[in-house]
Amino acid sequence: MTILGMNFTKIDVEKKGAMKGKVSINNNVTIKEVSVIDISMGSAKQKVLKFDFEFSSKYEPSFGHINLLGDLVFMAGDEKKTKELADAWKKDKKMPPEVMTPVMNSILSKSNMEAIVLSREINLPPPLPMPKISGQNKDQQYIG
């Protein structure tokens, strides 16, 4: 099982006005569709799964958003396994953890990085808390 690639098909970023008061940021990832597609691997064709997804960051009160649509291509192994996974998705919109874990981690990783860059470009707070250095308490001293 291998992730072959991922790309964004639509990027929508909007800042509606100045921030006022406390800001709440809600991030969400949704798998919209899973389909079987053919890709060329040398001279042969291979059936793989294509996951269509949406990543969104909503800023509350409603003063901005980041929406990313895209797809991820996943090779499940042989054609039989690919068909089984696609049928399972069509039946109850679920995938086994050994498939969804790497798929969701890849989507989150790339989408979060893109959302951070986009938020900087239009002066929105980053959708993830950034690491901060705090001053060390004088009572705490290094003992080595």
Indicate the length of the chain as a whole number. 144
- Cα–Cα distance between 13 and 19 in angstroms, integer? 16
Q: Sketch the domain layout of the chain as residue ranges.
A: 2-16+23-121
- Cα–Cα distance between 24 and 125 in angstroms, integer? 10
pLDDT tens column, 1-46: 789 999 999 999 999 887 778 889 999 999 999 999 988 877 888 8
Q: Which residue has the tokens 């940021």?
A: 25
Model confidence, pTM: 0.84
- Cα–Cα distance between 34 and 38 in angstroms, integer? 13
pLDDT tens column, 111-132: 999 999 999 999 998 888 777 7
Q: Which of 20, 9, 16, 18 is nearest to 67 (CA)?
A: 9
- Residue 140 is predicted with a pLDDT of 62
pLDDT tens column, 59-95: 988 889 999 999 999 998 888 999 999 999 999 999 9
Spell out a b/e string for 110-144, using b for 16 or more CB atoms within 10 Å of the CB, else e. bbbebbbebbeeeebeebeeeeeeeeeeeeeeeee
Average pLDDT over residues 45-68: 93
